[in-house]
Structure 1
């Protein structure tokens, strides 16, 4: 497979500010783990104060998904979510730049045998995950112990894209980063008996989606998980990671493959997936990526719950 390559034009002066910023990020990443998380909380508190549009999205999502909570409880959860997002910046730097041995000491993995058994049988696996704020570090930690190809969105800046891909691919030299829209490569990887990280928990628009409940709210849910499983002849193996509250690292859980999946219909499959997603989010709601407009696509005649973005 083709690895990401450094190119001479990355050294053009127009990229120097980015290289400087990345260098500062690398230096900060060398700090002790607990201090990094503390700095992340500070950054998250600042984001809560100044990122008004993002805070509106988080507050709207929490109001839709947790109507049983009081306004004060949702505000507390919102603040905790921004703190988690700030810590995610530090965790991304750790995933990209920490020595592998230092990083691996934070991992507490359960269920790895489900991936190992599939690999031995040359069975393709859709590693079904979620957009928790810890996803970058979770993928890195699991990638050190199993070969996982990751779906990613190519960044517009070629230098940042290079650093991002290099940081993600370095944990397992047999792994590769697959561009999110490159379905052909993903299916080829699955048919070769490889595991591919995939998260079906975001709103990708009306095309290829159907409306099924998520937290009791109709949510546009992609049917691609079922299609990929059929076309790639792959099992769907759920996976989540969780930042420990005591600062002692991360719990990573690989679940057994879904049985009888794909099922009788896309609707049944999407509902089953959303029910699993909701159950996992409820266990760690402060660590989920609520800043995504999950409910932006609405059934006909229903207004969007988010306010329009301000023009800049």
Structure 2
């Protein structure tokens, strides 16, 4: 007989959603210490990424950055319990939303909106907070391999509004279909999906396979690109989610490659103040130009 994990997962995440803030932070610190020791392959990915992106830092400085990164990462996983099971008012008290007037103005104008959400630690918290502001939204969704986990994730992400989940298979076509209905699409731009549809765009000076979709969709669908940047304060457990003004004249007369380079530069500018807030556990440089050895 197969073991039903769903009740246990719900109980654990529900506990994290209800427990006092100081308890939630203690769990985050403990898990942050444990994760790099258990997931050594991910710790290796973080070290490689930091070495390539911050070559001017010495090893001691990069190691300190990696430790802070895993602390923040672990806290963000604990806090999925808050996002998916915590009550509405506690989420509002914990996740601060700034700059939402930029979104409201575009919604009032009936514009097509691409929410440009790079992989910062607070990505899930930002998505949850935006569902408390937007009546309807959409995002690309990769089905979880475990059916019980998949159900919890899907239900958790759609608690407060109607969230349309776009399969990876539908990709750009699914995004365009919903944008044409004036449904804002939460778009994660900075993962390595291989060469198809991508170009090697510098990211911290390193050529990175980067999808050109944001520039192409903005051009073909007259969509505005609105950056969403999230940060976590590990001392207070509070998140700050900032809705930036729409990217000016995007893509304008730029080629898709040049326009995408502008977006990568924007991400870099927002990573530099606190690099540990970025999601360095991704193999961002997995695909390499022809003839170049792999990093990992």
Interval of TM-score (by shorter of Structure 1 and Structure 2): over 0.9
Secondary structure, aligned partner of 1:184? helix
Contact residue 226 and residue 262 of structure 1 kept, 8 A: yes
Residue aligning to 1:282 = 272
Cα 1:194–1:115 shift into 2, 3 Å: same
Contact 2:17/2:84, CA 8 A, preserved across alignment = no
- Number of residue-to-residue matches in the alignment: 293
Aligned residue for 1:54, secondary structure, equals: helix
Question: Equivalent residue for 1:309?
Answer: none
Q: What is the TM-score of this pair, normalised by structure 1?
A: 0.89
| 1:162 equivalenced with 2:151 (yes/no) | yes
| 1:10-25 mapped onto 2 (5 Å cutoff) | 14=2, 16-25=4-13
Given that 1:150 and 1:196 are in contact with CA atoms closer than 8 Å, whether structure 2 keeps it comes out as: yes
Q: Do the aligned partners of 1:15 and 1:159 also contact (CA within 8 Å) in 2?
A: no
Q: 2:248 aligns with which of 256, 259, 262?
A: 259
* Alignment match of 1:206 (pick from 175, 180, 195): 195
Q: Which residue of the other structure, out of 205, 210, 219, is the alignment partner of 1:230?
A: 219
Inter-partner Cα distance in structure 1 for 2:295 and 2:233: 33
Gaps of 5+ in 2: none
Q: Can you give the 5+ residue segments of structure 1 that lack an aligned partner in the other structure?
A: 1-12, 307-312
- Deviation (angstroms), 1:246: 4.3
| Alignment pair present for 1:179 and 2:167 | yes
3-state SS, counterpart of residue 256 of structure 1: coil
Q: Deviations over 1:18-67 (max 9, x none)?
A: 43233233224321123212211211111122211110000000000011
Q: Distance in 1 between matches of 2:16 and 2:258?
A: 46
Distance between the aligned counterparts of 2:14 and 2:237, measured in 1?
22
Aligned counterpart, 2:83? 95
What is the DSSP-based 3-state SS (H/G/I as helix, E as strand, rest coil) of the residue aligned with 1:46?
helix
Kindly indicate whether residue 115 of structure 2 is the aligned counterpart of residue 120 of structure 1.
no
With over 3 angstroms needed to count, the CA separation of the structure-2 counterparts of 1:305 and 1:195, relative to structure 1, is same
Asked if structure 2 preserves the Cα contact closer than 8 Å seen for 1:191 and 1:233, the reply is no
Contact 1:188 1:232 in 2 (8 A): no
Shift of residue 95 of structure 1?
0.6
Aligned to 1:86: 74
TM-score, reference length from structure 2: 0.94
Please say if 1:273 is aligned against 2:225: no
CA contact (8 A) 1:191 1:234 kept: no
